[in-house]
Structure 1
Amino acid sequence: MKLYYSKLSSSMAVHLVLEEIGKPYEAIQMDLDSQHQFTPEFLEINPKGRVPALVLDEGEKKVVLTEVPAILSYLAQINPELSLMPTDTLEFAKAQSFNAYLSSTVHVAHAHRRRGSRWSDCAECRTSMAAKVASNMSECFAFIQAHYLKKPWVLGDSFSVCDAYLFTISRWLEGDGVDINIFPEIRRHADAMLARPPIQRIAALHC
């Protein structure tokens, strides 16, 4: 497997899960500020021009997975012995609901700070969107703390790919102008994640 990732992006969640799994893989860092994601070489791998992109070893046929929720689910399902996602159909759907919320709502709220040009060509509009990021992210994490996060992990007693994803996005709070300490359960979860050896091995690559 080959992972294309960048620092300070959602690709950290996939990187963390690959470390948790502990099987061989190659990680290739992309410099998004230098527009590496738009080079012809990378666009051939992922025409979306985004990370993460996970290239699978499928013989002569190259298979590339994109989008964090899809990649996390795949990694969990090919490593069932690690119980990184529920096998019960309903519980699996609940986990997917959480990951979809992070992807479609929380990540988008965060992206309005630096990626406003995706939604508007108006400079004043982009400034207005950026000004809302702190309050929007606070609202999202208040919702997560109240309705999603169980003890000790997102899904309860067992660590899952949902925890890697939540931890990744919670690291964006400071840059978005939100003090993580106003959410004690999110802070507790982040501390628990930081104590895990896989996180310690790759954290420096994502700062």
Structure 2
Amino acid sequence: MKLYYAPNTISIASAITLDEAGIEFEPVRVDFRTGEQTKPAYHAINPKGRVPALVTDHGILTETGAILDYIAALRPEAGLVPSDPWDAARMRAAMYYLASTMHVNHAHKMRGQRWADNPASHADMTAKVPQTMTDSCTFIEENMLTGPLVLGDTLTIADPYLYAVCSWLEGDGVRVEDFPKIMAFRTAMRARASVRRAHETGMLK
């Protein structure tokens, strides 16, 4: 497999999950600084111009949630998706919240042109990010983390997803020390070999 990624983006959730599943892959860095994601060569891989993109024997898969589910299905013995339907649904509820709300909050800081053309509107969106990301952290703190991880002590595909999102918090103006459960979650994830490798290889700061 080949994973197209950019450092410190949501694509690192896929890298961590591949590692947790014991699946070998070739990481291919997409250079956002030079706008590589906007060029025809990368659009031939992912027409959306975003990461991640996972090249498989069946074709190219995009969208973080779909990629994580696919990885987990390839290695069911890794137990990355709960067998209990209720637990699996709670796991996906966490992932859908990260995708539909928290990632969008973060994107308003540097991707305002997706929603508005007026530069003043972009500045207003950026100024709002510390509040919206803090609000999301409050939701996670009070409703999502049931133990050190999303589902207590058992790692699921929601945890690499949340960890990638939580790597943005300081840069988004969140006072992380106000959220002890999130801090404990990050500590628990950093103890995992997969996460350490993501940091050591420069995928995450």
What do the CA deviations read for 1:16-61 (whole angstroms, capped 9, x no partner)?
1111122211100101121111222211111111100001023xxx
Give the drift of 1:202.
1.7
Compute the displacement of 1:90 (Å).
3.0
Aligned twin of 1:66: 62
| Structure-1 separation of matches of 2:9 and 2:22 | 21
Is the CA contact (8 Å cut-off) linking 2:150 and 2:158 kept in structure 1? Answer: yes
How does 1:31-42 map onto structure 2 within 5 Å? Answer: 31-42=31-42
Report the TM-score when normalising by structure 2.
Answer: 0.95
Moved more, 31-40 or 134-143: 31-40
Output the CA distance in 2 between the equivalents of 1:144 and 1:163: 12
In 2, the alpha carbon distance for the partners of 1:172 and 1:152 equals 19
Deviations 1:87-145 (A, max 9, x none): 23332222111101001100000000111111111111111111110010000010011
The whole-number CA distance in structure 2 between the counterparts of 1:45 and 1:104 is 23
Q: Which residue number corresponds to residue 26 of structure 2?
A: 26
Q: How does 1:1-207 map to 2 (within 5 A)?
A: 1-58=1-58, 63-203=59-199, 204-207=202-205
- Deviation of the 1:201 alpha carbon: 1.1
- Residue 152 of structure 1: CA displacement? 2.4
CA distance in 2 between partners of 1:21 and 1:135 (Å): 35
2:101 partner letter: T
Aligned-pair identity (%):
42
Report the Cα distance in structure 2 between the residues aligned to 1:187 and 1:23, rounded to whole angstroms. 28
Whole-angstrom CA distance in 2 between matches of 1:29 and 1:118? 23
Q: Is the 8 A contact 1:11 1:68 kept in 2?
A: yes
Give unmatched runs, 5+ long, in structure 2: none
> Which SS does the other structure have where 1:113 is aligned?
coil
CA distance in 2, matches of 1:100, 1:32: 25
- The number of residue pairs the alignment matches comes to 203
What amino acid maps onto 1:148 in structure 2?
M
**Residues 95 and 155 in structure 1, CA contact (< 8 A), matched pair in contact too:** yes
RMSD: 1.1
Structure 1 residue 205 displacement after superposition? 2.3
Q: CA deviation at 1:64?
A: 1.0
Give the conservation status (yes or no) of the 8 Å contact 2:52–2:64: yes
Whole-angstrom CA distance in 1 between matches of 2:23 and 2:63 = 21
CA separation in 1, counterparts of 2:140 and 2:203? 26
